[in-house]
Every structure is written in structure tokens, then in C-alpha cells.
Amino acid sequence: MIQSKQTEILVGLFVAAGLAALFMLAMKVSNLGDFTDEKGYQVTANFQNIGGLKPRSPVSMAGVRVGRVADIKLDPNTYDAVVTINVYPQYDNIPLDTSASIFTAGLLGEQYIGLQAGADDFYLADGDEITLTQPAVVLEQIIGQFLYSKAEGE
Amino acid sequence: MIDFIRTLGRWALGTMERLGRATLLLVQILTGIPELMMRFSLVVQQLFYVGVLSVLIILVSGLFVGMVLGLQGYNTLVDFGAEESLGVLVSLSLVRELGPVVSALLFAGRAGSALTAEIGLMKSTEQLSGMEMMAVDPVRRVIAPRFLAGLISMPLLAAMFSAVGILGAFLVGHSLLGVDDGAFWSQMQAKTDWYEDILNGVIKSIVFGFVVTWIALFEGYDAVPTSEGVGRSTTRTVVHSAFAILGLDFVLTALMFGE
């Protein structure tokens, strides 16, 4: 009887360890842990070109992550990309005239939205729009422009 | 010439017969499983022999596989100045491929061979026929619990393998080679998907557990009841399991990750 009790305890530990490993894979290794993002307030921003931005891309201010891209849509009238940003609730004092640009982390890295604080006395609130935006830099376009201007100069 | 054709025919018939017996055994096992839920203590006992006793080899191998991946990956990635991607490299290779496959191979060697030898010996010492004489179905009493235990243990062991491997790679990458720990984890989390990568890895390990335990139990149940026959069956378990794992891995990978 004692033997079987010990066996049961060891099997219990085994199953618990296996599930813990799976849990660690879920939370620490995969992106599942990020789904528990706190719900903040949503602001939108229109970009001419978003490059490789995707939903759930990071939004940062001075390098600190302040939110995530919640949704990306195409405006049917202006043909701009409408990006909805979920800003974490503790960052509730972002000035109204903040500008948003799309940057690339490193030369080939992920794309993210960088916010530069403005000087307005009023702060962004739920449903507001960031009007000052700068589209993503598309490397191929720049190379194309450079070659074109080079050819023109000669 | 006639002799050669006859040998070929006998071999083909023998193989088909074995396949048929294996399928019949599987059907018998599967119909026995609902009944087994009433006596789950039988399964717990087998989980101890099949699962708990395999933990040590899985953990040690996982740690070393992860550490080697960390070292080798770093040496390659550093040429491109992309050593921060070490986390992604290690997590994807472990979770998608190495975790399920290597732990299934180890599982076949550690637990599968033991299952075959145990059941083969039961058969050669006529314990199985003894049970039948007492109107106890040996498939339900002896084989089905072992099957279920193998099926449950395998995904848990594979998850432990991957988790320990990633920790090993982190140990080598961060403490030894100086990869930034924040970049290691954040790049890993950005590129490893729960459904695409981890759940597919878990499905793989369940399939491998199914196949390995099935092969091991069938080889034991079908063994020639002599000491030589049991030995040959045990060898066959390991060889056939390895073939089945590697072959199925290709098929599953093509189905899951191929476009």
C-alpha cells in the first residue's frame, strides 16, 4: 500500500512537471503571454504607408513600450492605412500633438511605431487621432530615389 | 528461381499478417480504454514505469542538446551580427523538431524496449495464457494500461525536453557567451507562436507516443516465446520505432509547416 502511495506521488510529480514545462513554453517562449496585455485607451493614426507593420507590433516612446498596434485597416476614401493603437492605461499624459512614425528595429528587424511627444497642454484620450504621422521608410524606394537623382545629376 | 519467388511470397504474406495482427491488437486496446477509466490505478502504475523513470534521461539529454544548440547557433549567428536571434533559433528548432523527435527516440530506447521485453517475457513464461485461463483478458489488463501510459507520458516528456533545452541554451548563450538576456527572450516570444509552433510540436509528440507504444506492445505481444525471440523483438522495437518516428516526422512536418 505504501509502495503504491509513493508511486502515485511520483506520477503526480511527473504529470505536474510535464504540465509546468508546457506552461513555461506557453508563457515564456511563445507569444501567448502577451495576450494578457492590459486594456488601455485606443487612439488612431493615419499613415500613407505602413511598410511591414503588423497587428500586435510594439508602440514605443523614447524606447519604452507604451502600447501595441491593435488593428490595421485601409481607409476607403483616402487610401491611407488607419492604425489603431492600444496605449497602456498608465501612460495617460501623452500630449495631443504627439507625432507618430514607423521605424525599423535594426536594419532588417521588426517594424514598430515610435511616438515623439509634443508640447500641447491637452492629452490624448480614447478615440482621439494622432494627426502628425510619418510613413514607413521603404528601403527599396530610397535606393530607387537615390539612383534616380544620381542619374538626373549627370 | 521458384524458390526465390516462394521466399518473396512468404515474406510478403508474413509482413501482411503481422500488420493485420498489429491492427487487431490496436483495435482491442482502443476498445479496452473506456473500461480502463474505471481502474485508473493500473494506468498510474504504468505511468510510473513508462514516464517517471524516463524523466532523468530526457532532462539530461534535453539540457545538453539545448547547450550544444546554443553554442553552435551562436557561432553561426555571430558572423551575421545576429546573435540576439539565438533565442528564436533554439526555441523553434527545439519546439518544432528536436523536442518531439529526440525525446521520442529516447523514449523508444528507454521505455519502448522495456515494454517489449516485459510483455515478451510474460508471454514466454506463459503468464499471458495463464490470465486467459482465469478469464482475464490480458490485452485489457496488461496491455491497454501500458498503451495509455505511453500516450500520456510522451507529450509531457517532450515538453520537458524542450523547456530544459531552452534553459540550457539560455545558460550557455547568456552566461557563457554574453547574449543579452532581454533580446534572447523577447525575440523568442516575438517569433514563436503558440498554435503554429508549440501546439504542433505537442501533436507531433502525441503521434510519436502512439506509434512507439503501439510498436513496442505489439512486438512484445507477438514475440516468439523464447529468450532469443524476446531479444529479437526488443531490437525490432527500437529499430522500427526509429524508422517510424523519423518517417512520420517528415510527413507531419510537411503537413504542418509546408505551404
User: Residue A118 — very low, low, confident or very high, per pLDDT cuts 50/70/90?
Assistant: confident
Q: Are residues A75 and A13 in the same domain?
A: no
Burial of B110-137, coded b for 16+ CB within 10 Å and e otherwise, reads bbbbbbbbbbbebbbeeebeebeeeeee
- B153-177 per-position pLDDT tens digit: 999 999 999 999 999 999 999 888 8
Q: Are residues A27 and A44 in the same domain?
A: no
Q: Are residues A43 and A7 in the same domain?
A: no
Q: What is the rounded distance in angstroms from the CA atom of residue B127 to the CA atom of residue B146?
A: 16
Quote the domain boundaries for residue A26.
2-33
Residues 6 or more apart whose CB falls under 8 angstroms from that of B141 comprise B42, B131
Q: Are residues A21 and A56 in the same domain?
A: no
- Residue B246: which H helix or E strand, with range? helix B227-257
Quote the number of domains for chain A.
2
Say which DSSP state B51 is in: T
pLDDT of residue A108: 63
In a domain, A131, yes or no: yes
Task: Answer whether residue B105 shows pLDDT above 80.
Answer: yes
Task: Answer whether residue A138 shows pLDDT above 60.
Answer: yes
Q: What is the rounded distance in angstroms from the CA atom of residue B253 to the CA atom of residue B41?
A: 36
User: Residue A54 — very low, low, confident or very high, per pLDDT cuts 50/70/90?
Assistant: confident
A55 neighbourhood in chain B, CB within 8 Å: none
Q: What is the rounded distance in angstroms from the CA atom of residue B196 to the CA atom of residue B199?
A: 6
Q: Are residues A25 and A52 in the same domain?
A: no
User: Residue B180 — very low, low, confident or very high, per pLDDT cuts 50/70/90?
Assistant: confident
Q: Are residues A90 and A135 in the same domain?
A: yes
Taking CA–CA distances from B197, the nearest residue in chain A reads A30
User: Residue A2 — very low, low, confident or very high, per pLDDT cuts 50/70/90?
Assistant: low
Q: What is the rounded distance in angstroms from the CA atom of residue B236 to the CA atom of residue B215?
A: 9
Q: Are residues A118 and A68 in the same domain?
A: yes
In a domain, A83, yes or no: yes
In a domain, A153, yes or no: no
3-state SS, chain A, equals CHHHHHHHHHHHHHHHHHHHHHHHHHHHHCHHHHHHCCCCEEEEEEECCCCCCCCCCEEEECCEEEEEEEEEEECCCCCCEEEEEEECCCCCCCECCCEEEEEECCCCCCEEEEEECCCCCCECCCCCEECEEECCCCHHHHHHHHHHHHHHHC
- B3-55 per-position pLDDT tens digit: 899 999 999 999 999 999 999 999 999 998 888 888 888 889 899 999 999 99
The C-alpha cell at A124 is: 490624448
Annotate A84-96 with DSSP letters as a single string.
EEEE-TT----BT
Facing B189 at nearest CB: one of A19, A22, A34: A34
Mean pLDDT for B81-97 is 88
Domain boundaries, chain B: 2-257
The C-alpha cell at B111 is: 521505455
- B191-232 per-position pLDDT tens digit: 888 888 889 999 999 999 999 999 999 999 999 989 899 999
Q: Are residues A139 and A71 in the same domain?
A: yes
In a domain, A152, yes or no: no
Q: Are residues A62 and A90 in the same domain?
A: yes
Cβ pairs A/B, distance under 8 A: 83
B157 neighbourhood in chain A, CB within 8 Å: 18
Most confident of A2-6, A55-59, B110-114: B110-114
B185 neighbourhood in chain A, CB within 8 Å: 28
Burial of B86-97, coded b for 16+ CB within 10 Å and e otherwise, reads bbbbbbbbbbbb
- At residue A42, the 3 state secondary structure works out as strand
- B126-155 per-position pLDDT tens digit: 999 999 999 988 888 899 999 999 999 999
Task: Answer whether residue A38 shows pLDDT above 70.
Answer: no
Least confident of A7-11, B108-112, B227-231: A7-11
Q: Which amino acid is at B43?
A: V
Least confident of A73-87, B77-91, B121-135, B223-237: B77-91
Residue of A14, A24, A104 to mutate, testing the B interface (most B Cβ within 10 Å of its Cβ): A14
Q: Are residues A84 and A13 in the same domain?
A: no
Q: What is the rounded distance in angstroms from the CA atom of residue A24 to the CA atom of residue A13?
A: 16
In a domain, A106, yes or no: yes
The C-alpha cell at B135 is: 478469464
Taking CA–CA distances from A3, the nearest residue in chain B reads B45
User: Residue A22 — very low, low, confident or very high, per pLDDT cuts 50/70/90?
Assistant: confident
User: Residue A106 — very low, low, confident or very high, per pLDDT cuts 50/70/90?
Assistant: low
Q: Are residues A79 and A29 in the same domain?
A: no
In a domain, A91, yes or no: yes
Taking CA–CA distances from A57, the nearest residue in chain B reads B190
Q: Are residues A29 and A97 in the same domain?
A: no
ipTM above 0.90, yes or no: no
- With CA atoms as reference, report the closest residue to B166 among B96, B66, B92, B93: B66
In a domain, A149, yes or no: no
- With CA atoms as reference, report the closest residue to B212 among B122, B125, B102, B124: B102
Q: What average pLDDT does the structure give for chain A?
A: 83
C-alpha distance across the termini of chain B, in Å: 48
